[in-house]
Amino acid sequence: MPVIKVHDKEFVPYLSASEIEEQVKRVASEINRDYEGKKPLFIAILNGAFIFAADLFKHITIEAEISFIKLASYKGIKTSGKVITAIGLDADLHRREVIIIEDIVDTGKTLFHFLPQLQHQHPTSLKIATLLHKPGALLHPLKIDYLGFNIPNKFVIGYGLDYDGLGRNIKEIYQLV
Ligand code: 5GP
């Protein structure tokens, strides 16, 4: 198995391109089955989810829309906690069936703090689809509705995920040695 070096760290192959493709197709078919006739709106979270979102969306055969947002976190002026806002959220979520597309849910902190902002727009439903999830790292209660893979609590790159900017264009998923 070839070890690759990205910046200062070494990574080994973890999920092959065909294993990923198989699970992406399976997730798409679950969504096709559950959202028939509902015209869901996918919201993909940039940057990491761009490849998963594109591959997943290609296998969506029902009527559907997709939009892309970026999340930015900053320190609140009045509160000590982090505030997460969406950049580029132009879609109206009111009475829509919304599916968030994430690359990875790690501690769950990002989505846990961000989802209530989407709930304010009163979507009919709000579900989460993530390619990867580290159950061992989850710190916030979060229901994942569509999942590619549960993975161990180790840093991964490839298929859209980066290490300090690099590695997003690797077709497979690699794990830190
Ligand atoms: P959370 O808020 O769930 O802890 O973190 C979610 C974000 O952290 C992901 O969208 C991703 O950007 C980053 N992240 C968490 N774990 C990994 C990992 O193993 N590899 C990479 N490349 N990013 C990760």
What are 65-105's pLDDT values in tens digits? Answer: 999 999 987 765 555 567 788 898 888 999 999 999 999 99
In the predicted structure, residue 26 carries a pLDDT above the cut 70? yes
Who lines ligand 1 at CB under 6 A? 48, 102-110, 155-157, 161-163
Q: What pLDDT is stored for residue 73 in this prediction?
A: 78
The pick from 12, 104, 105, 113 for probing ligand 1's pocket by mutation, whose C-beta has the most ligand atoms within 8 angstroms, reads 104
Q: Which of 8, 34, 106, 145 is catalytic?
A: 106
Mean pLDDT of 30-45: 98
Give me the pLDDT at residue 74, please.
Answer: 73
How many angstroms separate the most distant Cα atoms in the chain? 51
pLDDT on residue 79:
54
Nearest alpha carbon to residue 105 among 73, 142, 71? 142
pTM, full prediction: 0.95
The sign one gets for the Cα dihedral 166, 158, 74, 8 is negative
- Residue 146: its pLDDT value, please? 98
Q: Per-residue pLDDT averaged across 45-56, rounded?
A: 98
Distance CA 66, CA 42 (A): 5
Give buried/exposed letters for 47-68 (b at 16+ CB in 10 A, else e): ebbbbbbebbbeebeeebebeb
As a whole number of angstroms, the distance between CA 150 and CA 15 comes to 11
